[in-house]
A = this chain, B = another copy of it.
Amino acid sequence: MQKQVEYEGAVRTKYPEQVVIAIAKDKDGKANPVTLGWTMIVSGKPPMMAIAVASRHYSIETIRHSKCFTIAFPSAEMADMALFFGSRSGRDFDKLANCDCKTEPAKAIDSVLLCDAVANFECELESETAAGDHIIFVGKVVSSHTNTEPKKRLYTVAPGHKLGSAS
């Protein structure tokens, strides 16, 4: 049976919620990673993925500048890194230079891949749509990569940015 409640209460039923790390280079060539829970696949042929990024975030500028971005699926071991990327702004700070995160150049776009991620998807920017306090960016996947080791994906498993594997 359903009971009408405030949105904030109802949305707490969403967990586990997938986590991705989106990465785009800014005008100075600095690759800027941001951790996002609001993401989905949006097309099969051609493959496309979407992310929703808070309007005030520096990542908006980097994606608009690059017109491309990486979507990495972090592994469960990358929880601390995902929290770090999600809690600092890259506006005046080089997140990748200040943590122990191995990267390698992307193959088809001007971005980087996260070496320890479960998978990386290189996306060319297709569209952006304003939606409330976020902007939805849609990217066409032009190159895909997986880890050579089997890894579990990272999820938000409970409120308060509690991260872990989903199973």
Interface residues of A in 120-135 (CB under 8 A from B): 120-121, 126-127, 129, 131-134
Q: Kindly provide the distance from the CB of A15 to the nearest chain B CB, expressed in whole angstroms.
A: 8
Number of copies: 2
Q: Is the CB of B50 within 8 A of A11?
A: no
A interface, size bucket: 35 or more
Could you say which of B17, B73, B143 contacts A14, with CB atoms under 8 Å apart?
A: B73
Interface residues of A in 52-75 (CB under 8 A from B): 52, 73
Could you say which of B50, B73, B144 contacts A5, with CB atoms under 8 Å apart?
A: B144
Could you say which of B6, B113, B132, B145 contacts A48, with CB atoms under 8 Å apart?
A: B132
Could you say which of B7, B18, B151, B167 contacts A47, with CB atoms under 8 Å apart?
A: B7
Binds B, one of A27-35, A37-45, A82-90: A37-45
Q: Is the CB of A41 within 8 A of B14?
A: yes
Ordered by A's residue number, 16 sampled pairs between the chains whose C-beta atoms are within 8 Å are A2-B115, A2-B148, A4-B143, A4-B144, A4-B145, A5-B146, A10-B145, A14-B41, A16-B167, A40-B52, A42-B132, A43-B133, A44-B132, A50-B131, A166-B167, A167-B167
Interface of A is mostly: strand
Most chain B Cβ neighbours within 10 Å, of A18, A113, A118, A127? A18
Residue of chain B at shortest CB distance from A131 = B42
Q: Kindly provide the distance from the CB of A48 to the nearest chain B CB, expressed in whole angstroms.
A: 5
Interface residues of A in 84-142 (CB under 8 A from B): 104, 107, 113, 115, 117-121, 126-127, 129, 131-134, 136, 138, 140-141
